[in-house]
Amino acid sequence: MLKSYERELIDRGIAAADSTTYQQNKIWSRHTNEKADVADSLSKVIRSINKTVPLSLPLRALALGCSDEPQFRILEAAFKGGLYLFDIDETALAVVDRRIKRQLIEGVTTVVGDYATSFATPRDAKRTLDKRLGGERFDLITLHHSLYYSDKSTWAPLMENLYKGLLAPKGALHLALMSSTPRPGTTTWLYNHFADRFFGHRNDQDLLAFRDVLAESPALSDAQLASRTSEVQFFVDDFEQYMAVVWMIMLYPHVHNYSLDQRREITTFVLENFWWSKRPLVQVQDYLAVYKDVRGGVLV
């Protein structure tokens, strides 16, 4: 029999499922070292680009599925030729717009759109570049944790269209994604545990395997590929906030619409197996850089 305090916690955890992706990501960013880890990898890619492109040439960058990532600060400083933040989440971009206005930032443009359709074909990519992204190619294009919301069968065409149609003659694509390796206690394991049981679905979005796919792509025959794997942790001493991040990991409701009973079961499981014992969520994540004519582009 659950105590009243436990029932209250579970109710709060279930209610956290209604928080927005923007709110969930803010909690994740505040209570994990993941963003610093992404920034470390991103900085190495920028360093590789700077070794090839003259410092006198202002660089341009495009962040797809950017939300209001902390990497915005790095990108804004490094890409004075123009930074475009492209996201389907209007709420997150509105936060960036307010910051741009408050801090008198120039050269940053927010664009509301769905990358899955805006760059689905070479023609779509060309149209989006010309009509919504200023018409000039980019030295860097990032996809940080944004591929979860598209089927992996669409990844290769997307990368080919970005590489051939939007990337400058010398530049890089930088991708980050949760690893598909289901080590017990990791975010991937937690996702698989319930998504498989309730929907027959497991995380098969493997960025390292995708590297091998790109290596065989004729469109990327001149590309140099680099990848690595790292590990980060998340914990917050507030169960409602902890569960908000769990719902983000569980892809609710954008991919999996768990029923109320299923949400209650997930919440109870997390309370009993993670939060009571102050057990952090461990996320193993993969990075992939795709370089186009960048000297020494092996750091990632």
Question: What pLDDT, on the 0 to 100 scale, is given for residue 297?
Answer: 66
State how far the Cα of 92 lies from the Cα of 128, in Å rounded to an integer.
21
For residue 253, whether the previous peptide bond is cis, meaning omega lies within 30 degrees of 0, is: yes
Q: Is pLDDT above 80 for 155? A: yes
Give the model confidence (pLDDT) of 162-209 as tens digits.
999 999 999 999 999 999 988 999 999 999 999 999 999 999 999 999
Please tell me whether residue 174 adopts helix, strand or coil conformation. strand
Residue 2 clears pLDDT 70, i.e. is over it: no
Helix (H, G, I), strand (E, B) or coil at 193: helix
Q: Which amino acid is at 61?
A: A
Contact between 108 and 100 under an 8 Å Cβ cutoff? The reply is yes
- Angle between helix 90-102 and 21-30 (nearest 10): 60
pLDDT in tens, 17-35: 999 888 998 899 899 999 8
pLDDT of 218 reads: 97
Helices vs. strands in the chain: H and E counts, helices first: 12, 7
pTM: 0.89
What is the C-alpha to C-alpha distance for residues 60 and 160, in angstroms, rounded to an integer?
Answer: 19
| Res 148: pLDDT | 85
> Which tens digit of pLDDT belongs to each residue from 33-70?
998 999 999 999 999 999 999 888 999 999 998 766 66
Segment 285-296, tens digit of pLDDT: 999 999 999 977
Looking at residue 128, its amino acid is T
